[in-house]
Structure 1
Amino acid sequence: MPIGEIILATFIKVLFEKLASIDLLNFALREQVYTLFKRWSGELTEIQAFLDDAEEKQIENKTVKMWLEDLTDLAYDLDDILDKFAIEALQRKLTAKSQATRTSKSKLRAMIPTCCKGFTPTIVLSNFMKSSTSKIEEITARLQSIFERGSRLGLQNIVAGESTKAWHGPPSISSFIHEHCIYGRDKEKKYIIDFLLRDESNDSKVGVIPIVGMGGLGKTTLAQMVYNDEVVNKHFDLKAWVCVPDEFDTMRISKVILESITSKACEFKELNQVQVQLKQNLIGKKILIILDGVWDKKYNDWNVLKGPFNDGVLGTKIIVTTRDKDVASIMGTIPNHLLQRLSDDDCCSVFEQHAFRNRSMDANPNLVSIGRKIVGKCKGLPLVARTLGGLLRCKERDNEWEIVLNSKIWDLIEQGNEIPPALRLSYHHLPSHLKRCFAYCSILPKDYEFEEEELVFLWMAEGLLQEQNGKKRMEDLGVEYFHEL
């Protein structure tokens, strides 16, 4: 679901909460608009039931996309008028309280805006209702129209990926390598380790091997396999792993490397200070550095970064992972290692490792058959196979797997990027409460380091955490969502 639909789903939830507000309902009863509120709430409920179906159908149906856009506009207008009702309800409540406590007439009049002096509160309220009539009628008509259009478009009341089994997030895995078993990369791992163990690296003391491939092929996983290998650990004196931001920040990368090899926080503010200290710590040491996810093509940036390593021991090595062959050409001292797609068998093994971890494959032959058809759409990308395996891990019925296999999301084409349709499937089948919380994270900058508590408080502030009838504190619920994601 795009961010727009996530906001819409959350916004409609807020509208329901406002329509159920005790103060607003009391006001509605007094002003004889209670029936109207109930009608709005009922129509919103019917419209809300269309959202999951509309989310998928908008991919290939522009009319459905326009329906969602019109619904978003209507939701904002409905929110505006409910706010006006709430203000009037509060004013009436304050007025009634003032009268009950026998507030003097002058003080009571002082509470009424200057433009309204000379009118009684009842007249003020009547004027409000009179001035709002046209807007109320307009919104009522638009709600009915939206619902009828949704019905004509064939939108149905479905819940994406809903299962009778309660949602349970995957168990937390604490490891550098997040896979129980890596398939199809043994030969490539051996090739890279052989390079790392050689002391010669052409004309440079620092040997750089780029691992190149499209997103989702497992470049980072392969680098992790090598980085954590026992033979590699014994061969190098020091190691450092750096997740490189899109904007190549030489200062930041140098500090991360320095902090990794010294295990101390770096307080220096100038790049020269950091690199001098880094150079001193590298004297006589053989170091392995992983630069994961490099995009920068500026040759000078790379030359500045690698300066401190030129005085290191012969055999110092750097592994670079990148999608860009130009980046690899700038940084590499040997030919690029082009990562290949997994074979169908290896890709199937990745999928089954996640989809069948808690159940027997022999006892579920239909799921195995459907799963292999799904793997055929993964195009040899281990990230996609792993993600979809994790998605289907808690789905037990054949039809739930077939929904994923036959989803129209597979037909979504994004030029130059084959991953989003498959990964979007995983997102599409998250429970709605986790969808909202996950989508909210898109406002965080890439590589921004956030704390669990910080994110939970942000979710709370945005009203993204569902009430549990007093059974759980909101903070505890947020922590639960965080760990599920």
Structure 2
Amino acid sequence: MAIIEVFLGAFLTLLLDKMASGEWLEFLRHEGIHTQLSNWTNTLSQIQVLLTDAEDKQLTNRAVNLWLDDLQDLAYDLDDLVDDFFTEALRRKLMSEQPQASSSKVWTFIPTCCSNLRPSSVMFNFEMRSKIEEINTRLRNSFEQGSKLYLVKIIGTTPTPTTKTWQRPESTSLIDEPHIYGREHDQSKIIELLVRGDESSHSNVAVIPIVGMGGIGKTTLAQMVYNHETVQKHFDLKAWACVSNEFDILRITKAIYDSVTSQTCSFNNLDHAQVQLKQALAGKKFLIVLDDVWNNKYSDWNVLKKPFSDGAQDSKIVVTTRNRDVARMIGAVKLHDIEVLSAEDCWSLFAQHAFENRSIDANPNLVSVGRKIAEKCKGLPLAAKALGGLLLCKERDEE
């Protein structure tokens, strides 16, 4: 079974999606290295479409097999470099938000425009420039080597991401996992926040943000909570709305109305739609889930929340977001940060998708390879499901 090609195809897809994230593009522009992102994306995309042909030839061509091994090492190293950039971007963001310790007071006299000259930043820039040059050379060599091996570009079998922001499919409140791993504590904590009253609140409606990086399982956790029996009994009305990149207030308002009334809102005027929603929620204890919120404009949030004000005491809104600024903007008192899965939970999720209900105890080699792939998912449920699903498809094709 040519597992390495399955893994590389999925791994490169996930890596390209990560590199296309809007969360760090501003950091790259500030560092003057955003053009590297475009170069990496273009080269990886060209390499990616060679993988199908490489799969067919690697069994009979030793050079192709060695090329795939080198490409796998390169993909790992590039992923590590991207993680380094994410970490540095987060470090600088935290530094800009928090006062420096007394030992660092001298830096407060340096203009903001020169803040990237702090000692740690200078060292980071020096080390990263060297790593970038190395990655650039290895990427060029890998693509050139693939071309010399006469590998054919086969389009249509492997998705080719672009540098545009990925538009994810719209989420729903339904859970599509037979078993959820590693989220029992998170589920209990969110349910406690939902059903517990807050007499000190000056508003009838409290907001609970679930915060975490893309692919970490925020939507799945929200679905678990939304469908839990305790939550079902506690609220009079429930609504689910997928927000995603475009914060269209009218669309979101109509989606909430449709959900709580089981009717279709026929108004295409925001005022009429919000009046209808306000009447539907009045005096009811409701739960509204706003999934995948990116917009952190306070004025937009103020308009969207107008119909919620007449809801009964202890109504709740759950917001899933990658951005802590969104959580702060909506005035949430407590944030719930969701962490990556443990190695064992990540393996269990991967195996659930890769092997379905089949026993793999009789094939220790398959287990060993599967665990290595799951380890590279770094605790991200989305990666575990994507890689597991691709391995399952590959096995079915070869049966």
Fold in common (TM above 0.5) = yes
2:251 is equivalent to residue 252 of structure 1: yes
1:323-472 correspondence runs (5 A) = 323-396=322-395
Question: Which of the pair has the greater relative contact order for Cα pairs under 8 Å at 6+ separation?
Answer: 2
- Residues 284/5 of structure 1: CA separation in 2 closer, same or farther (3 Å cut): same
1:79-478 correspondence runs (5 A) = 153-156=148-151, 176-200=174-198, 202-396=201-395
Aligned to 1:61: 139
The answer to whether the 8 Å contact 2:240/2:288 transfers is yes
Mapped to 2, the partners of 1:155 and 1:361 lie a distance apart of: 37
Aligned to 1:449: none
Question: How far 1:320 sits from its partner (Å)?
Answer: 0.3
Per the alignment, in what secondary structure is the counterpart of residue 293 of structure 1?
strand
When Rg is computed on C-alpha atoms for both structures, the one with the higher figure is 1
The answer to whether the 8 Å contact 1:209/1:332 transfers is no
Mapped to 2, the partners of 1:175 and 1:283 lie a distance apart of: 23
The answer to whether the 8 Å contact 2:346/2:384 transfers is yes
Aligned residues with identical type, % of pairs: 55
Aligned to 1:97: none
- Residues 380/332 of structure 1: CA separation in 2 closer, same or farther (3 Å cut): farther
- Residues 175/364 of structure 1: CA separation in 2 closer, same or farther (3 Å cut): farther
- Residues 284/150 of structure 1: CA separation in 2 closer, same or farther (3 Å cut): closer
Per the alignment, in what secondary structure is the counterpart of residue 305 of structure 2?
helix
Equivalenced residues, count: 261
Per the alignment, in what secondary structure is the counterpart of residue 314 of structure 1?
coil
Mapped to 2, the partners of 1:344 and 1:310 lie a distance apart of: 43
Question: How far 1:335 sits from its partner (Å)?
Answer: 1.6
Counterpart AA for 1:183: Y
- Residues 283/150 of structure 1: CA separation in 2 closer, same or farther (3 Å cut): closer
Mapped to 1, the partners of 2:173 and 2:318 lie a distance apart of: 20
Question: How far 1:157 sits from its partner (Å)?
Answer: 6.8
Question: How far 1:354 sits from its partner (Å)?
Answer: 1.3
Per the alignment, in what secondary structure is the counterpart of residue 61 of structure 1?
helix
Question: How far 1:155 sits from its partner (Å)?
Answer: 4.2
Aligned-residue RMSD, C-alpha = 3.4
Question: How far 1:271 sits from its partner (Å)?
Answer: 1.2
Q: Map Cα deviations across residues 148-197 of structure 1 (whole Å, 9 max, x no partner).
A: x976x23447989x9xxxxxxxxxxx981011100100011011001111
Mapped to 2, the partners of 1:262 and 1:157 lie a distance apart of: 54
Per the alignment, in what secondary structure is the counterpart of residue 393 of structure 1?
helix
Mapped to 2, the partners of 1:340 and 1:260 lie a distance apart of: 30
- Residues 150/270 of structure 1: CA separation in 2 closer, same or farther (3 Å cut): closer
Per the alignment, in what secondary structure is the counterpart of residue 384 of structure 2?
helix
Aligned to 2:53: none
Q: Map Cα deviations across residues 182-241 of structure 1 (whole Å, 9 max, x no partner).
A: 010001101100111123262221110000000111000000000111111111111111
Per the alignment, in what secondary structure is the counterpart of residue 341 of structure 2?
coil
Question: How far 1:329 sits from its partner (Å)?
Answer: 0.8
Per the alignment, in what secondary structure is the counterpart of residue 244 of structure 1?
strand
- Residues 270/157 of structure 1: CA separation in 2 closer, same or farther (3 Å cut): closer
The answer to whether the 8 Å contact 1:210/1:332 transfers is no
The answer to whether the 8 Å contact 2:173/2:240 transfers is no
Mapped to 2, the partners of 1:197 and 1:351 lie a distance apart of: 33
The answer to whether the 8 Å contact 1:243/1:291 transfers is yes
Mapped to 1, the partners of 2:146 and 2:384 lie a distance apart of: 34
Per the alignment, in what secondary structure is the counterpart of residue 385 of structure 2?
helix
Per the alignment, in what secondary structure is the counterpart of residue 294 of structure 2?
coil
Gaps of 5+ in 2: 1-12, 14-40, 51-63, 76-137, 158-171
Question: How far 1:312 sits from its partner (Å)?
Answer: 0.8
Counterpart AA for 1:374: I
Mapped to 2, the partners of 1:251 and 1:345 lie a distance apart of: 43
Mapped to 2, the partners of 1:191 and 1:393 lie a distance apart of: 34
Counterpart AA for 2:312: V
Worse overlay, 303-312 or 197-206: 197-206
Per the alignment, in what secondary structure is the counterpart of residue 291 of structure 1?
strand
Counterpart AA for 1:191: K
Per the alignment, in what secondary structure is the counterpart of residue 311 of structure 1?
coil
- Residues 183/319 of structure 1: CA separation in 2 closer, same or farther (3 Å cut): same
Mapped to 1, the partners of 2:234 and 2:348 lie a distance apart of: 32
Question: How far 1:288 sits from its partner (Å)?
Answer: 0.6
Mapped to 2, the partners of 1:276 and 1:175 lie a distance apart of: 25
Aligned to 1:475: none
Mapped to 2, the partners of 1:234 and 1:332 lie a distance apart of: 27
Question: How far 1:333 sits from its partner (Å)?
Answer: 2.5
Counterpart AA for 1:244: V
Mapped to 1, the partners of 2:173 and 2:305 lie a distance apart of: 29
Per the alignment, in what secondary structure is the counterpart of residue 293 of structure 2?
coil
Question: How far 1:300 sits from its partner (Å)?
Answer: 1.2
Mapped to 1, the partners of 2:321 and 2:266 lie a distance apart of: 30
The answer to whether the 8 Å contact 1:217/1:381 transfers is yes
The answer to whether the 8 Å contact 1:242/1:290 transfers is yes
Question: How far 1:252 sits from its partner (Å)?
Answer: 1.2
The answer to whether the 8 Å contact 2:173/2:223 transfers is no
Question: How far 1:369 sits from its partner (Å)?
Answer: 1.1
The answer to whether the 8 Å contact 1:240/1:290 transfers is yes
Mapped to 2, the partners of 1:284 and 1:228 lie a distance apart of: 22
- Residues 215/260 of structure 1: CA separation in 2 closer, same or farther (3 Å cut): same
- Residues 369/150 of structure 1: CA separation in 2 closer, same or farther (3 Å cut): closer
